[in-house]
Chain A
Amino acid sequence: MTATVPYRPRTAGAPVTMKLEQVSRWFGNVVAVNDVSMTIGPGVTGLLGPNGAGKSTLIHLMSGFLPPSSGTVTIDGETTWHNESIYRRIGLVPEREAMYDGVSGWNFVLSNAKLHRLPDPQAAARRAIETVDMESAAGRDVGTYSKGMKQRIKMATALVHDPDVLLLDEPFNGMDPRQRLQLMDLMAELGRNGRVVLFSSHILEEVEQIAAGIEVMVAGRHAASGDFREIRRLMTERPHQYTIRSSDDRALAAALIADGSTAGVELGRRSGTEILNVQATDYNRFAHRLPVFARERGIRLYEVTPADESLEKVFSYLVSR
């Protein structure tokens, strides 16, 4: 993807605002989204939460594909449900991969441009494809694309009409690190240009790298909102559990316990193999010191696994604060 975004900065008029007011959505007896209120303005916002937290349902509510069971979803005061004209302002990158497999990437993006009735659909399609760096593969059928390529062509269809609001459902799925960084740059620039860019993710690091604002969903509820650094600080303050397997667990245990980054180490066994359970109190220091200790002592690290890093645990810690 190109580093600079060939889309106009949005400067005229009041800033775009997407507003959810006391939005709930239930399916039968299951409450997928529970009384969520949030206001999202220009810039990149991360919608963070574990799988099943209601992120996709929320994005479908925002994009007008689901009516709220109660409450309202609006963009600059216009409702998104039953309002086809709102799609002039919304670009959507759905999580599901399915597209029109027998159509080439170029024709697919061009079709999207035509469906928006753009004055010059060819130019718009070319610009969107260049933006996501897919020129070389644009002639191939969508069905032959890798997951990362499909994500990029989906991004091109969402950008083709230069929308004010970009909604992306797990956009980094299947992308390699380079593509991921390029997409992050693109999203950041669109956000700086005055667009509302909201993306969902269940990966903390993705959100941390790009989103200034963050909305946290846990079990259908809006658990936290605001600046990521504050939320991240709360997260990093908590003790982290790690499971380590190395060529000399005892020597490593001695080094770690002598260091201030760990509160406790315990030798244990798993499936007949010796392991080391570590409780780190200072996450950043631990992450930095562990490989240094290992190298200094000639110890090989076979495995370093966070034992409690599942988002559910992180979020339940967050919610309990």
Chain B
Amino acid sequence: MNATVAGLTWHSLVGRRRAVLLFVLPAVLLALALLVRLVSGQSAGAAADLLGSFSLGFLIPLLCLIAGTGAIGPEIDDGSIVYLLAKPLNRYVIAVSKWVVALGVIVIFGVLPTLAAGFIMAGSDSNLATGYAAGALLAGIAYATVFLLLAVLTRNAVVIGLLYALVWEAAIGGYVPGAQALSIQQWALAVTQKMVGDQASGLGIESAVGLGAGVTLLVVVTVAGLAYTGYRLRSIRINGDE
């Protein structure tokens, strides 16, 4: 971890116009949570529905896409990455520093709002708020890794990431059992399900994978993804405009 790389990355991420989305998405979640609370009162069922579909199913993947690709993609596109790479810096350190910043953004704008929304709608009932916040954090860790790697691998990272998060996970993963096993959302949901406990199935919180498999896959994707990002960054080729 290098504080200077992290500082420059933070400036790039929250300084760009796309950062508006960082504020809009959690604001929408909190507004919806307040609305649900006002209309339905304290309701674990409504909380599980909103946190499962909007937070874990939409906000977290989209936020991770913005933060994960935004942490390095624009620098590669416009060439300013040269100022980091033309330094005697270990490329894995650069990758980890950018990943940490992306994760920080995800925690601030995704995980904490999920926790707050859970408490607003369900109070401390059934560990729903903490369960979904933990799920959001673990999903965020894996998503951020995948999207950071994508941004190093391809200039079409945002499009591919959107296809994965919204088409594969939300559409195909929602209906095809085999596809569900290859879904970060489902791996993280296994943790949420475990934390919510016995009431989980009654609230419709059911992961397609077991807890052991979910956690293992999250760890494998994160560690392997970060290692490969550092490796690719070491061999990244920068060409002139000619």
Contact B239 A60 (CB under 8 A): yes
A225 CB to nearest chain B CB (Å):
20
Among B90, B235, B240, the residue within 8 A (CB) of A57 is: B240
> Are B78's CB and A96's CB within 8 A?
yes
Contact status B7-A90, CB under 8 Å: no
In Å, the complex CA distance between A169 and B5 comes to: 24
- Flag whether A103 is at the interface (Cβ < 8 A): yes
Give the residue of A84, A86, A169 whose beta carbon is less than 8 angstroms from that of B90: A84
Contact status of A82 and B235, CB under 8 A, knowing A92-B86, A100-B12: yes
Shortest CB distance A75–B (Å): 13
The minimal Cβ–Cβ distance linking B9 to chain A, given in whole angstroms, is 9
For the complex, what is the distance from the CA of A111 to the CA of B7, rounded to whole Å?
9
Contact status B83-A95, CB under 8 Å: no
| With A63-B86, A87-B86, A103-B8 as contacts: A52 and B2 at CB distance below 8 Å | no
Tell me the chain B residues, 160-185 only, with Cβ under 8 Å from chain A: none
Q: A57-B239, A65-B237, A111-B4 are in contact. Are A98 and B90 (CB under 8 A)?
A: no
Report A's interface with B, CB cutoff 8 A.
27, 32, 51-57, 59-60, 63, 65-67, 82, 84-88, 90, 92, 94-96, 98-103, 108, 111-112, 114-117, 157, 169
Distance of B81 from chain A, by nearest CB (Å): 9
Residues of A within 8 A of B240 (CB): 55-57, 59-60, 95, 169
Q: For residue A60, which residues in chain B have a CB less than 8 angstroms away from its CB?
A: 238-240
CA distance A99 to B78 in the complex (A): 8
Please, which residue of chain B has its CB at the minimum distance from the CB of A53?
A: B242
- Contact A57 B8, CB 8 Å, known A87-B88, A92-B82: no
Given A32-B242, A65-B238, A98 and B79 touching (CB < 8 A)?
Answer: yes
Q: How far is the CA of A164 from the CA of B214 in the complex (A)?
A: 52
Q: Is B91 in contact with A84, judged by CB distance below 8 angstroms?
A: yes
Nearest-Cβ distance from residue B17 to partner chain A, whole angstroms: 11
- Neighbouring A residues of B7 by C-beta, 8 Å: 111
Chain B residues with a Cβ under 8 A of chain A: 2, 4-5, 7-8, 11-12, 15, 78-80, 82-91, 234-242
**What separation, in Å, do the CA atoms of A52 and B241 have in the docked complex?**
9
Instruction: Please determine whether A115 and B238 come into contact, CB atoms closer than 8 angstroms.
Output: no
CA of A99 to CA of B79 in the docked complex: distance in angstroms? 8
- Nearest CB of A to B78, in Å: 4
Contact B80 A65 (CB under 8 A): no
> Taking the nearest CB of chain B, how far is it from the CB of A171, in angstroms?
14
In the complex, the answer to whether B89 meets A98 with C-beta atoms within 8 Å is no
Chain B residue with minimal CB distance to A66?
Answer: B237
A243 to B108, CA, bound (A): 65
Q: What is the CA–CA distance of A82 and B79 in the complex, to the nearest angstrom?
A: 18
- Known A54-B242, A94-B79, A98-B79; judge A84-B88 contact (CB<8 A): yes
What's the minimum C-beta distance from A263 to chain B, rounded to whole angstroms?
A: 36
B80 with A100: CB separation less than 8 A: yes
* Cα-based distance from A61 to B83 in the complex (angstroms): 16
Contacts of B89 in A (CB 8 A): 84, 87, 115
Residues of chain A within 8 A of B80, CB atoms compared: 96, 98-100
Interface pair B242/A51, CB less than 8 Å apart: yes
By beta carbon, the residue of chain B nearest A111 is: B4
Closest 5 A/B residue pairs (Cβ): A56-B240, A102-B15, A98-B78, A96-B79, A65-B238
* Cβ A67 vs Cβ B88 within 8 A: no
Contact A114 B4 (CB under 8 A): yes
Are B241 and A116 neighbours in the complex by a CB distance under 8 Å? no
Closest CB in chain B relative to A188 CB, distance in Å: 23
A-B CB contact pairs (8 Å), 11 listed = A27-B239, A55-B242, A84-B87, A84-B91, A92-B86, A103-B8, A103-B11, A108-B83, A115-B5, A115-B87, A115-B89
- What residues on B are CB-neighbors of A56 within 8 Å? 239-242
A111 to B97, CA, bound (A): 14
Q: In the bound complex, what is the Cα–Cα distance between A96 and B86 (angstroms)?
A: 14
Task: Determine the chain B residues whose CB is within 8 A of the CB of A111 once the complex forms.
Answer: 4, 7-8
